[in-house]
Structures are given as C-alpha cells and as structure tokens.
Amino acid sequence: MKHEDFIEIAKREVVSFEACRVEIPLDISEQFDVKDVFVVWSCKTLQNSKALLSMPHKGALYYEFTLNGDKEEIYMNAYRKLVNKKLDKNYIKSNHKDIYERT
C-alpha cells in the first residue's frame, strides 16, 4: 500500500471515530470532513507506515495509525490528553539536577 493511501484511510477512520463519540454534540459531528483531519507526523520505512493525526475541534482525540505492510493490516490507537504540565528551568534544575548540570 502506498503511504498516501494509508494516510487517506487513517483520515477517514479519524472522521468516522470522532463522529461516533457521544461527548461530541451532534450538530458539530455531522459537519466533520476528511479535510478537517490534520497529520501531525508520519513516516514510511520499508513496507511499514506510521502516522499521528487529530482534528481541530475542542476535545478531539489524538490518533496513532500503524501499517504493518507484511500483514497488510492497519492498527489504530486513540489517546486523550490527560495533563498539560509546564516543566520550566527552575523545575528541571531542582528535580533533575544531575541532568541539568550536564548541559
């Protein structure tokens, strides 16, 4: 499978999964389109591919797709952000002093 085809399948699956999530209001989910899905990162190595995707609406999940080219299978994982924690210089310096001093 071409990497571009893998990405297109992944985008369609993101739209399908997001549209079925009960916490997304129906009036919003009915407007979802493949054009709304964005690729954060993707890579192709030999016959395998991997991609990270999401959508711009609030509460969108973060998706990881993996193509196993040998088996012609695609795996999907969905993640939700649990924490957004700032690790500033002072925090790093006090909690990871051994590493900070190496730099």
Report the candidate in 5, 6, 1, 4 with the shortest Cα–Cα distance to residue 63: 6
Higher pLDDT: 28 or 98? It is 98
In this predicted model, what pLDDT tens digit does every residue of 86-103 receive, in sequence order? 999 999 999 998 888 886
Q: How many domains, in total, are found in the chain?
A: 1
DSSP β-bridge partners for residue 43: 50
Residue 25 scores a pLDDT above 80:
no
* Mean per-residue pLDDT of the chain: 92
In this predicted model, what pLDDT tens digit does every residue of 46-82 receive, in sequence order? 999 999 999 999 889 999 999 999 999 999 999 998 8
Please tell me the distance from the alpha carbon of residue 7 to that of residue 71, in angstroms, as a whole number. 17
Q: Whole domain around residue 77: which residue ranges? A: 3-100
Per-residue confidence (pLDDT) for residue 103, from 0 to 100: 67
Model confidence band, residue 34 (pLDDT cutoffs 50, 70, 90): very high
